Amino acid sequence: MRATSTTPLGLADAYGRVATDLRVSLTDRCNLRCTYCMPEEGLDWLAKPELLTDDEVVRLVSVAVTHLGVNEIRFTGGEPLLRRGLVDIVARTTQLDPRPQVSLTTNGIGLARQAQALRDAGMDRVNVSLDTIRQDTFQQLTHRDRLKDVIAGLEAAHQAGLTPVKVNAVLMRGVNDGEAGELLQFCLDRGYELRFIEQMPLDAQHGWSRDTMITADEILEMLGEPFGLEPTDAETRGSAPAESFTVRGGPQTVGIIASVTRPFCGDCDRVRLTADGQVRDCLFARKESDLRTALRAGADDEELAARWRRAMAGKLPGHGIADPAFLQPVRPMSAIGG
């Protein structure tokens, strides 16, 4: 990629990319303990005074939407359904002008109770993480017996019109990789869009290894023939992280987010805000830019926007996982916002 010298209007970086998709983490806490994400005993959670308040979240989201050209907001975490003020935050976000697309990435626990309220608040759609439909595998992977709650959450989201309901799955060798086909069939039968995410080096335990992760090629090898997968038109992918494949001629599709083996950094349009008000220009960034201090010191919207632009200007051309000098970020995925 060649660095360009154009004047940034929105959240532009030196390589010509412009971030318009903001992932906002609402908490670093989670009620599952997925083995690829965090240890069974949990982590040292952020203390309450460090967390942005609901008003502070809405203020920064508003700066992003009205001053920086962000047109898509995804609330995430940790587990965003654990955030008490979620419905109100969503309602205030969907009232912004211009109105951004608003979605949620969740593990689905408690979604059955909140799906309609989220829809009524204007939420457009949800991504629900589900790696298996077998109770014993779910327990093994998440250290919790909550599969039924997740399935109920998916159904409620679908019924409430939070569609398309997307399902995110991570395959772990020797754990759930033999269940990829049944998970795909489960999603196809219910009209959910399944996307497999390659396991990334973002776990708190630093247990990731390139040698054991399940790759996009392996997933295609497993599912390609039985499900008649064909790549959809690459032209339509744009900045979407998932490569999309039609199932048996379509119209249903399955996606693969191959962040490790087929990185798509050149088309990245994402930026992240952590629950404690730090801007991250990449999941794998080792640097963050503090907006919370300026916000609490009384900075106006223009100053916050200027700080945010500066934070993005230094975004690196790629995540560098393949680089022998790659170092995992200090924060794990749960504290960044997936």
Output 170 or 220, the one with its CB closest to ligand SAM: 170
Distances (CA, A) of 73 to 124, 126, 170, 311, 326: 10, 12, 23, 18, 29
Instruction: Please tell me whether residue 168 binds ligand SAM under the rule CB under 6 A.
Output: yes
Please compute Rg for the chain using Cα positions. Answer: 19
Output 33 or 59, the one with its CB closest to ligand SAM: 33
- Contacts to ligand SAM from residues 175-204, by CB under 6 A: 197, 199-200, 202-203
Q: Closest separation between CB of residue 32 and ligand SAM, Å? A: 7
Q: Closest separation between CB of residue 328 and ligand SAM, Å? A: 10
**SS3 string of 168-213?**
EEECCCCCCHHHHHHHHHHHHHHCCEEEEECCCCCCCCCCCCCCCC
- Contacts to ligand SAM from residues 87-106, by CB under 6 A: 105-106
Which residue of 76, 114, 176, 274 would you call a contact of ligand SAM, by CB under 6 A? Answer: 76
Output 77 or 255, the one with its CB closest to ligand SAM: 77
Instruction: Please tell me whether residue 171 binds ligand SAM under the rule CB under 6 A.
Output: no
CA quadruple 248, 256, 177, 126: dihedral sign: negative
Angle at which helices 86-94 and 111-120 cross, to 10°: 30
Output 199 or 244, the one with its CB closest to ligand SAM: 199
CA quadruple 28, 31, 32, 33: dihedral sign: positive
Site residue total, ligand SAM (CB under 6 A): 20
Q: Evaluate whether 181 touches 187 at the Cβ level (below 8 Å).
A: no
Query: What's the CA gap between 296 and 293, in Å, rounded?
Result: 5
Which residue of 170, 220, 242, 279 would you call a contact of ligand SAM, by CB under 6 A? Answer: 170
Q: Which residues of the chain form contacts with ligand SAM (CB under 6 A)?
A: 30, 36-37, 76-77, 79, 105-107, 129, 168, 170, 197, 199-200, 202-203, 333-334, 338
